[in-house]
């Protein structure tokens, strides 16, 4: 892993918990793919029940392997999580996955409302320009996975990545457009409609082949049309998991639901099948909300699994 930058404290925190020190930009080479993590926010010392209502700090402490993973769970049983995007470079392709919350978006969750973060500065400091991105993949259409698709310019929400095809899985797009999803907060209005109006959107299947060794795999449950991005360069397989897991602890018990899971039972089955497959194939997993060291491999541990960060 090449550490590109150390930006110190990342200034966006949950209201009562703490931002933590981390690398805001990290880069790995996996086979012939280069993957860069661009962090928007990282928060530590979060009580696990904030995201996982069925568990307590004692449950986290009982997964003793988490303590070896350098800060993702602390001795008191609190956890750390990130909001981050990944950029995958393979051949001539430069693909952005899940562009975070974005700036200036009006959101009902206070810790995502009207943000002002230097995420786009980090994107540039990592060597990218907005025109480089040829494809934007959304694992799903929650607020924290599409925000940087647009920026407010002269009062209008305007596409950021004007050369990119923005991919939306059909049933996920339908779900995001429902009246229920559009009350109180409106990622569809400020982050999706401008892309549709600009002709930059492609509606794709949940198992779409994207070329150059990239393909979507259907991983429903967290949302109806949730997908993960598989990258197979002929060497080590890599997958960006999205929100089928929110924290490494869900490897240790796939039945642990995250508070935002639309269909918790389906999400649990999806996690188990996904982890079994990744374990069998030696796939490197990039966890979209995983803090500190978001890439690792899955090892069998009794009836479940454990996550081992890449060295």
| Smallest separation, CB 84 to Zn ion (Å) | 10
**Smallest distance from Zn ion to CB 259, Å:** 10
- Separation CA 121–CA 251 (nearest Å): 33
Give the C-alpha distances (Å, rounded to integers) separating 173 from 53, 139, 183, 201: 28, 11, 16, 11
Cβ partners under 8 Å of residue 225, min gap 6: 140, 141, 169, 170, 171, 172, 173, 174, 175, 206
Q: How far is the CB of 248 from Zn ion (least distance, A)?
A: 15
Select the residue interacting with Zn ion from 142, 165, 297, 306 (CB under 5 A): 142
Q: What is the DSSP string of 62-73?
A: H-GGGGGGTTSB
42, 69, 144, 232: residue in contact with Zn ion (rule CB under 5 A):
144
Q: Which of the stretches 146-154, 201-209, 210-218, 237-245 binds Zn ion when contact is defined by CB under 5 A?
A: 237-245
Cα separation, 111 vs 284, in Å, equals 30
In angstroms, give the least distance from the CB of 142 to Zn ion. Answer: 3
Shortest Å distance, C-beta 294 to Zn ion: 13
Binding of residue 40 to Zn ion (CB under 5 A):
no
Question: 116: how many CB neighbours lie within 10 A of its CB?
Answer: 9
Q: How many residues bind Zn ion (CB under 5 A)?
A: 3
Determine if 243 is a binding residue for Zn ion (CB under 5 A): yes
Span from 100-108, 144-152, 181-189, 292-300 in contact with Zn ion (CB under 5 A): 144-152
Shortest Cβ distance from residue 239 to Zn ion (Å)?
A: 16
Task: State the Cα–Cα distance between residues 235 and 230, nearest whole angstrom.
Answer: 13
Question: Up-side HSE of residue 46: CA atoms within 13 Å toward CB?
Answer: 23
Structure tokens, 147: 């925000």
**What single DSSP character describes residue 274?**
H
Residues 154-193 vs Zn ion: string with x where CB under 5 A? ----------------------------------------
Q: Which stretch binds Zn ion (CB under 5 A): 6-14, 134-142, 247-255, 261-269?
A: 134-142
Residues that bind Zn ion (CB under 5 A): 142, 144, 243
């Amino acid at each position: 892993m090449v550490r590109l930058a150390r930006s110190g404290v990342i200034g966006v925190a949950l209201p009562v918990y703490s931002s933590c020190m981390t690398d805001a930009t990290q880069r790995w080479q996996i086979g012939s793919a280069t993957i860069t993590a661009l962090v928007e926010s990282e928060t530590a010392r979060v009580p696990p029940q904030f995201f996982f209502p069925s568990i307590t700090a004692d449950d986290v402490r009982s997964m003793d392997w988490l303590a070896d993973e350098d800060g993702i769970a602390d001795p008191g049983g609190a956890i750390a999580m990130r909001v981050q995007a990944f950029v995958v470079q393979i051949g001539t392709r430069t693909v952005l996955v899940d562009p975070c919350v974005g700036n200036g978006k009006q959101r009902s969750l206070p810790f995502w409302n009207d943000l002002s973060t230097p995420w786009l500065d980090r994107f540039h400091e990592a060597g990218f320009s907005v025109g480089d991105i040829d494809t934007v993949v959304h694992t799903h259409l929650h607020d924290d996975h599409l925000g940087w698709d647009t920026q407010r310019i002269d009062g209008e929400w305007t596409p950021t990545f004007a050369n990119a095809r923005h991919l939306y899985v059909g049933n996920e797009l339908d779900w995001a457009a429902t009246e229920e999803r559009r009350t109180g907060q409106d990622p569809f209005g400020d982050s999706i409609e401008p892309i549709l109006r600009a002709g930059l959107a492609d509606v794709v299947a949940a198992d779409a082949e994207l070329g150059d060794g990239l393909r979507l795999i259907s991983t429903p449950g967290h949302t109806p049309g949730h997908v993960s991005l598989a990258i197979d360069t002929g060497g080590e397989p890599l997958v960006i998991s999205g929100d089928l897991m929110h924290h490494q602890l869900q490897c240790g018990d796939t039945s642990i639901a995250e508070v935002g899971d639309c269909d918790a039972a389906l999400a649990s089955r999806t996690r188990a099948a996904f982890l079994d497959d990744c374990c069998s194939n030696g796939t490197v997993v990039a966890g979209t909300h995983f803090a500190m060291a978001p890439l690792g491999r899955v090892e069998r541990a009794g009836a479940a699994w454990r996550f081992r960060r890449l060295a």
